[in-house]
Structure 1
Amino acid sequence: MLKKIFLSGTPINQKPIPKNIPVVRLVDEYFQAYNSGRLREGCHLFTNKMLNEDVTIGMSITGALTPA
């Protein structure tokens, strides 16, 4: 039962990345899991929402501001 719940997503594509691939295709087809998946979501958010007319963008910085 738990296996169905946790392994129910889209399988990770393991094909090799070709040379000279366009950035849009790279992000859409190869950024599928973990941090690359979050980066893909951010790219889609940026292009689909933030580049529209009459949009206000707020930014913040988190994390340590001084070196450890």
Structure 2
Amino acid sequence: MKFQIRHVQAIWPSGQYENWRLYCFADHASAQAFLDHFGGMMFDPKRDRDNGKARSVWRRTGEALRN
């Protein structure tokens, strides 16, 4: 299972932000296997980066998950 690691800044509508590490896989099955083993959440570049326009940013919705 080959992957790349990226760092992004997760930003919520409230203005709160955190630095997050993403594990990027070439195919959905590998990403799902990683998720099943380690937990976490899926990242969709088209949805979560303003259609790929926002680099190094993850536009989050709802409330921040951590304090």
Question: TM-score, normalising length from structure 1?
Answer: 0.27
| TM-score after normalising by structure 2 | 0.27
Higher RCO, Cα 8 Å, sep 6+: 2
Larger helix proportion of the pair: 1
Question: Bigger radius of gyration, 1 or 2?
Answer: 1
**Larger strand proportion, structure 1 or 2?**
2
